[in-house]
Amino acid sequence: MLIGKPSAIPSSEITPLGAYRQFLSRRRFLRGAVAAGAVALAADRVAQVIEPDKVAFAETRLQTVSSPLTTTGEQLTSFADITHYNNFYEFGVDKGDPAKNAGGLPTRPWTVKVEGKVAKPLTFDIDDLLKLRPLEDRVYRHRCVEAWSMVIPWVGYSLSEFIKQCDPLPSAKYVQFLSYYDHHVEKWSGESTIYWPYSEGLRMDEALNPLTLLTFGLYGETLPNQDGAPVRIVIPWKYGFKSAKSVVTVRFVEKQPSTTWNDMAPDEYGFYSNVNPSVDHPRWSQKRERRIGLPFYAQWRETLMFNGYGDQVASMYQGMNLRKYY
């Protein structure tokens, strides 16, 4: 487990991933035995019996460089916890559902459309996005509005680098992100109360902040499906639901865009959703948080304003009433 300066150590060398590789090797061996006819059951059925909590992702190593924007001195959440305790309602509302159900998400081929207030509409292939800029290792705190948190070693580069390629017009004041939507995908959630496709958005200065990450992986690997493969947004000073997963459309707009949770429950999920311990959710306090993966006695801690990233982001909200614009 890494403690100290993660910027000096590539995410591919952090201990929890190595331990998880042994797990994956065991799975490949067992599946090979099935394919050889060692048992009479179908391979998928045996995999479910042996490992009911399958991880849905393609094992592809990513070439990365260290980033000065990484968070130091934090104990990383294990790969197993990051990939088995998820909010991804397209694949179920329980925390373990995405790991079980997201295997059908088709991550290749994959394109991201750019539209709205831009010089001209564009379409980027995922492999071209991967080559656009050097991929960086960045450890970020992740804070969920449900009062739990993780520390995740993401892989990506600043969203601002992508925005430069989009050539937005001066009239573009906000950026909207739309997630993949296809209810025909196997194991797609039957949750009918959510407005699909999932939509999130940022003010332009928030999108251009260097901390806002266009994200392709974690722990040095491509993103697992349940964590938003193949490309997602990560905004570390906001609650996790602001970080749109499996993005297929980036839309530059003049006015504040509709966003899924803000539309459904505006009294609970504000458009900004900056981590602010002084603004309670109507059903629970945000003053404290539970760090997933630690022993129970060590899990609870005080929530930090802007999730601890105030030095980098507070100036964007100078003069705003952050209780009103929560």
Token pair in block for residue 6: 């993660």
Minimum mean pLDDT among 108-117, 192-201, 239-248: which range? 192-201
Residue 276's contacts (CB-CB under 8 Å, 6 or more residues apart) are 286, 305, 306, 322, 323, 326
Question: Which residues are paired to 177 by β-bridges?
Answer: 200, 250
pLDDT at 6: 42
pLDDT at 13: 47
**Strand runs labelled E in the chain:** 64-66, 111-116, 122-125, 135-143, 148-158, 174-179, 199-203, 213-218, 221-222, 232-234, 247-253, 288-291, 300-302
Q: Could you give the percent of the chain with pLDDT greater than 70?
A: 82
pLDDT at 19: 52
The model's pLDDT over 15-73, given as tens digits with 9 standing for 90+, comes to 455 554 544 444 444 444 444 443 333 334 333 333 434 456 556 899 999 999 999 99
Token pair in block for residue 43: 């391979």
195 pLDDT tier (thresholds 50, 70, 90): confident
CB 217 within 8 A of CB 229: no
- Identify the residue with better confidence: 109 or 192: 109
Q: How many CB atoms lie within 10 A of CB 321?
A: 8
pLDDT at 8: 44
Average pLDDT of the chain is 87
Distance CA 86, CA 91 (A): 10
Selection from 172, 195, 188, 207 nearest residue 264 by Cα: 195
Q: What is the pTM of this model?
A: 0.85
pLDDT at 56: 60
Return the half-sphere exposure (C-beta side, CA atoms, 13 A cut-off) of residue 260.
Answer: 20
pLDDT at 29: 40
Q: What is the mean pLDDT of residues 164-187?
A: 96
pLDDT at 58: 59
- Identify the residue with better confidence: 257 or 57: 257
Q: Could you give the percent of the chain with pLDDT greater than 90?
A: 78
The model's pLDDT over 269-301, given as tens digits with 9 standing for 90+, comes to 999 999 999 999 999 999 999 999 999 999 999
pLDDT at 60: 86
Question: Which residues are paired to 183 by β-bridges?
Answer: none
Residue 102 confidence (pLDDT) above 60: yes
pLDDT at 17: 58
pLDDT at 153: 98
Distance CA 143, CA 239 (A): 5
Residue 77 confidence (pLDDT) above 50: yes
Distance CA 166, CA 169 (A): 9
Would you give the DSSP letter of residue 75?
Answer: P
Which domains does the chain show, CATH number per domain? 6-294+304-312 (3.90.420.10)
Question: Which residues are paired to 238 by β-bridges?
Answer: 274
The model's pLDDT over 118-172, given as tens digits with 9 standing for 90+, comes to 999 999 999 999 999 999 999 999 999 999 999 999 999 999 999 999 999 999 9
